Chains A and B, each alone.
Chain A
Amino acid sequence: MLKIDQFAYTNRLRSAHPAEKFVFAALTLAICLIVSRPLISLAVILIMAGSIVLWAGIPLRFYLKLMLLPLSFLLVGIMTVAFSISRRPFSFLWAFTIGGFSLGITPTGLELAGNLLLKSLGAVSCLYFLSLTTPVLEILWVLKKVKTPGLFLELMLIVYRFIFVLMETAFKIYISQVSRWGYASFKTSYLSLGWLAANLFTKSYYHSQILFNALSARCYQGELRVLEMPYTFSRKNFALVALLELALLALAWWTGDDIFV
């Protein structure tokens, strides 16, 4: 989480217009979700990996690690799709039978699971592209431009800011516990952790009250307004994005007559 945030501020696409990156991620995501074909999903995964690693300059190892995160969740979820239960064992590629019922993998189940896996990874990589190249603040800026309700945006901003405050607070409490042997044994660890959680809650509550005071002290009247940073559009980037999206669509059109499944 922290690492992603740091890359968002230091990657090579940092100065690109947030709307360009947003449009790129959103369009690719849409194509990946609408055109359900493994080839397209694969193409999306490759395009995004290329953009993230080659274009934005995020280390490959770090990106692979990031991709492993959803993979572990996905594999569990996909098992349930791949396996099916039936009374007739002949349609299975592989199965075992208990009391007349067979649990196994069918060709269609396998295909569906594979498609789902690729599609999910494709979608996740689009979101990774956005979060690795664009600071949260700029994503919020784009969302504001497309008329997302202000309350929702302010909430996101405060949540984002508080994640860091919370982590810092939790870390401080943790350090103070460790330095007093709070995690020396299983029992003390258990107690310390519970205490940390409880304390974190009261501290955050207190913190939110003070934040409100501090905002009021600066004449806050219910709207968090800040100056917008000037961004410059780049025609080259837009052309590139358009080209990639068109290529994806063309690929989808060429490889099958039924684009929208």
Chain B
Amino acid sequence: MSEVILEALGIEFTYPDGTRALKGVSLRIFKGKKIAILGPNGAGKTTLFLHFNGILRPDRGKIRFNGQDVSYKHASLLDLRKNVGLVFQDPDTQLFAGNVFQEISFGPLNLGLSKQEVWRRVEEAISATEIEGLKDKPTHFLSYGQKKRVALAAILAMQPRVLICDEPTAWLDSRQALRIVDLFQKINQQGVTIIFSTHDVDLAYSWADYIFIMKEGAVIGEGVPEEIFKDEALLKEAELNKPWLLDVAQFLKKKGYLAERAPLPKTKEELLRSLAGADIACSNNRLRAVP
């Protein structure tokens, strides 16, 4: 049984201009999981993330990390930010230093680590994100995709236990997006909990362990991907499309190409494999029919 690492309890938040961005959000994140948060623009995903990292303080409700309430005192905040890393959606808002190497060293240096340790972590984060070639480039020479990787490396170097990414694949071409997902996979295998917001239902369906759906400042649904995407009414309310895999699989089941009780495929490969299996099953039947 996994334990809860991060928890939001009845978070309400209103921006100074009067926008009620969160209207009582409660959710629990289990350790080591891959969590996707889906929802239309303006649903409050970014605002929620800023709460998880202690940047915003809720008007009502509380955030809990590792079973302890965040108290918003200096030490408690630093502890939270050390353990919960937040990668902002727009890398330009996050990058400030002159070159990539120095940018990445900023976070770990703030943790009070020795220079050698910082150096080691920076090198590690650089090789994990495959940006060795950019090391001493100034950040304003980088392309958008490269900036995104640098922003991610800058957080990874702090070795957080929970990694939050705000729309990590937005604006990236599909190959770059795949590289980010591969990287997430590696990080997750090292035991890091991953939370990301996205509009990509296919990614959320294939890759997340658990999904939250937000709309207008509230969580309107949660569950494992197979369940969430079966709920037509929920999808409609959240203005989400169905993942194409699920559409295709359901069609194939209706037409009898897939067994009614076969598990739903999570990836294209799984779908193809079960189709190949069906093929063999079919031909076996035919063989048997022949006397």
Contact = CB atoms under 8 A, between A and B. Distances in A.
Given A213-B55, A219-B81, A229 B140 contact: no
Nearest to A6: B141
B101 A229 contact: yes
A257 B275 CA distance: 98
A219 B50 CA distance: 14
B109 A227 contact: yes
Contacts of A236: none
Nearest to A158: B96
A34 interface: no
Contacts of B158: 218-219
Interface in B61-99: 78, 81-82, 85-86, 88, 90, 92-99
Given A137-B99, A224-B96, A218 B136 contact: no
A227 B101 contact: yes
B115 interface: yes
Nearest to B92: A165
A214 B109 contact: no
Nearest to B136: A229
B32 interface: no
Contact of B97 (A157, A216, A217, A219): A157
B106 A224 contact: yes
A145 interface: no
Contacts of B85: 217
B105 interface: yes
A227 B122 contact: yes
B280 to A, nearest CB: 53
Contact of A9 (B94, B109, B141): B141
A225 B93 contact: no
A217 B163 CA distance: 12
A258 B24 CA distance: 81
B53 A137 contact: no
Interface SS, A side: helix
Contacts of B138: 5, 9, 135, 137
A248 B78 CA distance: 55
Contacts of A158: 96
A27 to B, nearest CB: 25
Given A207-B93, A227-B115, A227-B118, A218 B98 contact: no
Interface of A: 5, 9, 135-137, 140, 157-158, 160-161, 164-165, 168, 207, 210-211, 213-221, 224-227, 229
28 contacts: A5-B140, A9-B138, A137-B98, A157-B96, A161-B140, A164-B140, A165-B92, A207-B93, A210-B88, A210-B93, A213-B55, A214-B94, A214-B96, A217-B55, A217-B86, A218-B106, A218-B110, A218-B154, A219-B78, A219-B81, A219-B82, A219-B158, A220-B110, A226-B103, A226-B106, A226-B109, A227-B109, A229-B101
Interface of B: 50, 53, 55, 78, 81-82, 85-86, 88, 90, 92-99, 101-103, 105-107, 109-111, 115, 118-119, 122, 136-141, 154-155, 158
